[in-house]
Structure 1
Amino acid sequence: MPYEQMLGAAGLAGFAAVAGAVILGSFLVSYLFIAVTFYFLAKKLKTEPLWLAWVPIAQFFLLPIMAGKHWAWGFIMFVPLANIIFMYIWLWLVYEKRKYPGWWALFSLGAYIPFVGFVFSILALVLYLLVVFKDK
């Protein structure tokens, strides 16, 4: 194998390693964000068991419990389209249990609007953090 081809292969391997590390880091940060916020939200709502917030798939079952529904409703998170609809319904109920307007949960839908989606995403994130950490 010529030297130039070896350099190209090494560069490609290095790029792949860095890209993989960035993707893995993004997944880890996302997981920790969801786990920490679900934990504090469940704690403030006096929802048991709190350990569900730290188990990735079990988090699907904690959201309906926090919304006041049976844990078995978490299985709907494995059904395409229904999972999105029920996630918004449960978030609406959780927001209301925290004494915030339930319609705040719908702000993240604005993320799908071209050009202004980023603004809606940031707004939805700020409102979610407000609901999780600020008592009303």
Structure 2
Amino acid sequence: MAVPFTPDMLLAAMGGGALLAFIGAFFIVFVMIFLALYVYTSLAVMTIGQKLKYKYPWLAWIPFANLSMILQMGKFHWAWVFLMLVPVLGWIALAVMLFVATWRIYEKRKYPGWLALIPLAGFVPVVGGLASIAHLIIMGFVAWKDVK
């Protein structure tokens, strides 16, 4: 004999489906935001590369190659990107080099170099999200607004 669904069983089944739908929608929104940010930053780095007369600005679209591009535009050797293979200390050293390279790039574009340090404010709990947004805005200015 078949056991009929009770209202409690029906509510539990609906709750699980709603949770799964919510997780799926959240994942789709997360992927869309990630792709939008990736396209924006790649376009910005590519434009900066073009304005600094970098030989291969299309490298901005390739993960890890874009880091070597930033290092080269900041007058470091591209091979320093392999520091990412060294756990913790290599990551810290590469991050410092990328901050220095970004500082130099900003100065080449006639912007204050200290603007490259804005992402460090992301470690401050309340200001973290605002620092990320500020970094994206600054990156856009450096890429598309020429300072005289």
Please identify runs of 4+ aligned residues in structure 1 that moved more than 6 A: none
**Structure with the larger RCO, 1 or 2 (CA within 8 Å, 6+ apart):** 2
Identity over aligned pairs, percent:
34
Give the TM-score taking structure 1 as reference length: 0.85
Q: 1:61 to 1:24 in 2, by over 3 A?
A: same
* 1:107 Cα offset (Å): 2.3
Q: 1:60 to 1:11 in 2, by over 3 A?
A: same
* Structure 1 segment 5-20 matched on structure 2, within 5 A: 5-20=12-27
- Counterpart residue number, 1:89: 100
- Counterpart residue number, 1:24: 31
Q: CA RMSD, aligned part only?
A: 2.1
Structure 2: which 5+ residue stretches go unaligned? Answer: none
Give the TM-score taking structure 2 as reference length: 0.79
Confirm or deny: 8 A CA contact 2:99 2:116 kept in the other structure.
yes
- Counterpart residue number, 1:125: 136
Q: 1:16 to 1:121 in 2, by over 3 A?
A: closer
**How many residues in Structure 1 have an aligned counterpart in Structure 2?**
136
Classify the secondary structure of the residue corresponding to 2:91: coil
* 1:24 Cα offset (Å): 0.8
Matched, 1:110 2:121: yes
